[in-house]
């Protein structure tokens, strides 16, 4: 069976270094907000090109804390509208509703699955205060377009970069092209911890300062609380592990891109639609390689029978979820079609060439 993602094999690559990193934290006797978190924050800030990085407990919290931070700074308030792609993972939308803002869902560009200019303008009202582009599947949204629109209407730009560690379009790097960005280090992400983890990156000094306080009970000085905060910190152990894996992230991404290139050049079947991307750019880090089929259940069953595990990201669009009954009446034909047709193929830095061969050969034989 070719696994969709072999996490054990991914982490086994770094086994010795990870064990050493964990041992150092254990031996240090300091387990929360210590040296490992500070070091990782510095390294990850540098990696993204952002001025600040603040480690938090997970990717959802990263997004919530950015929004809370802007509320504390008076740049956002409850009831404000935030534009978000309708085809995102639920967490982007959860963050907006958690802080009492209103998610305004818009269709993505069907070719890229991403937010684009033509989908923005018609949705901006006097209540709109922010745009949350999502670098879905690891592909960078065209931030120059988003930033120009934001500038024109005086909006904040908050990137959901949970799937896009290292995506780079000519120096426009995920995490440093908007006002702030949220990252996830969930184990399956391109930079994955051995548990939960997340981070905020930003060039905004005031936002960095307030989220540092918010993640730690709203307290700068122990037992002195200046704002109503939460407990959402990146663990020392996870930070130490992430620091090991960060060194290899670009190499791992290159492996993903090589597999994606093989899929894109060698899969050829009229029943399968391949993702559109530019081989020569580094703006796609292939967290997921997503194909489309108008008979997905049949294709997925066929692949399963032939020993290839696939996953659907995501089967139900947010506006059709039970948790969002107030959005259930809305209709987003592009988003709904995407959710019905997408299928994610196995892709990871530890996939063997023979496995890639097998996936290609099996897909080319589909329906024949």
Ligand X SMILES: *Cc1c(COP(=O)(O)O)cnc(C)c1O
Contact residues for ligand X, defined by CB under 6 A: 58-60, 88-89, 91-92, 134, 160, 162-163, 184, 186, 196, 198
Closer to ligand X at the Cβ: 272 or 310?
310
Please state the three-class secondary structure of the chain as a single string.
CECCCCHHHHHHCCHHHHHHHHHHHHHHCCCECCHHHHHHHHHHHHHHCCCEEEEECCHHHHHHHHHHHHHHCCCCCCCCEEEEECCCCHHHHHHHHHCCCEEEEECCCCCCCCCCHHHCHHHCCCCEEEECCECHHHECCCHHHHHHHHHHHCCEEEEECCCCCCCEECCEECCCCCCEEEEECCCCCCCCCCCCCEEEEECCHHHHHHHHHHCECCEEECCEECCCCCECCCEHHHHHHHHHHHCCHHHHHHHHHHHHHHHHHHCCCCCCECCCCCCCCECECCCCEEEECCCHHHHHHHHHHCCECCECCCCCCHHHCHHHHHHCCCCCHHHHHHHHHEEEECCCCCCCHHHHHHHHHHHHCCCC
Closer to ligand X at the Cβ: 2 or 96?
96
Min. distance of Cβ 304 from ligand X in angstroms? 24
Backbone φ, ψ for residue 157 (5° rounding): -120, 115
Closer to ligand X at the Cβ: 47 or 186?
186
Give the integer Cα–Cα distance in Å for 317 and 315.
7
Residue bearing tokens 């603040």: 54
Min. distance of Cβ 307 from ligand X in angstroms? 27
Closer to ligand X at the Cβ: 92 or 168?
92
164, 287 Cβ separation under 8 angstroms: yes
Min. distance of Cβ 136 from ligand X in angstroms? 6
Min. distance of Cβ 189 from ligand X in angstroms? 6
Closer to ligand X at the Cβ: 71 or 95?
95
Closer to ligand X at the Cβ: 335 or 360?
335
Min. distance of Cβ 95 from ligand X in angstroms? 8
Min. distance of Cβ 84 from ligand X in angstroms? 11
Closer to ligand X at the Cβ: 267 or 313?
313
Give the integer Cα–Cα distance in Å for 155 and 132.
10
Min. distance of Cβ 5 from ligand X in angstroms? 13
Min. distance of Cβ 198 from ligand X in angstroms? 5
- With CB atoms as reference, the residue minimizing the distance to ligand X is 59
Min. distance of Cβ 27 from ligand X in angstroms? 28
Closer to ligand X at the Cβ: 88 or 335?
88
Q: What is the CA radius of gyration of the chain?
A: 21
Closer to ligand X at the Cβ: 260 or 299?
260
């Amino acid at each position: 069976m070719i696994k969709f993602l072999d996490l054990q094999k991914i982490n086994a690559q770094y086994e010795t270094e990870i064990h050493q990193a964990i041992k150092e934290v254990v031996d240090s006797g300091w387990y929360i907000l210590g040296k490992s978190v500070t070091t990782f924050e510095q390294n990850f800030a540098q990696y993204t090109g952002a001025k600040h990085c603040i480690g938090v407990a997970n990717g959802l919290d990263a997004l919530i804390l950015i929004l809370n931070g802007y509320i504390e700074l008076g740049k956002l308030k409850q009831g404000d509208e935030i534009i978000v792609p309708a085809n995102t993972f639920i967490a982007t939308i959860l963050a907006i509703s958690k802080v009492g803002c209103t998610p305004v869902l818009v269709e993505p560009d069907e070719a890229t699955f991403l937010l684009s200019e033509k989908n923005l303008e018609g949705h901006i009202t006097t209540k709109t205060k922010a745009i949350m582009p999502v670098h879905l599947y690891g592909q960078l949204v065209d931030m120059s377009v988003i930033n120009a629109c934001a500038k024109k209407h005086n909006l904040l730009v908050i990137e959901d970069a949970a799937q896009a560690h290292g995506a780079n379009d000519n120096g426009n790097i995920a995490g440093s092209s908007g006002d702030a960005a949220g990252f996830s280090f969930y184990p399956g992400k391109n930079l994955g911890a051995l548990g939960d983890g997340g981070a905020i990156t930003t060039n905004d000094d005031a936002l960095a300062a307030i989220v540092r306080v918010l993640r730690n009970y709203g307290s700068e000085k122990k037992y002195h609380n200046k704002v109503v905060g939460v407990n959402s910190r990146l663990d020392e152990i996870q930070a130490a592990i992430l620091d090991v894996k960060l060194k290899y992230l670009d190499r791992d991404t290159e492996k993903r891109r090589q597999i994606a290139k093989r899929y894109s050049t060698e899969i050829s079947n009229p029943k399968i639609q391949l993702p559109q991307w530019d081989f020569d750019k580094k703006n796609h880090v292939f967290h997921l390689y997503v194909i489309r089929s108008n008979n997905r259940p049949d294709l997925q069953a066929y692949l399963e029978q032939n020993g290839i595990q696939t996953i659907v990201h995501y089967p139900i669009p947010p506006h059709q979820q039970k948790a969002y009954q107030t959005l259930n009446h809305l209709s987003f034909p592009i988003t709904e079609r995407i959710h019905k047709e997408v299928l994610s193929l196995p892709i990871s830095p530890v996939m063997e060439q023979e496995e890639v061969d097998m996936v290609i050969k099996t897909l080319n034989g589909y329906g024949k």
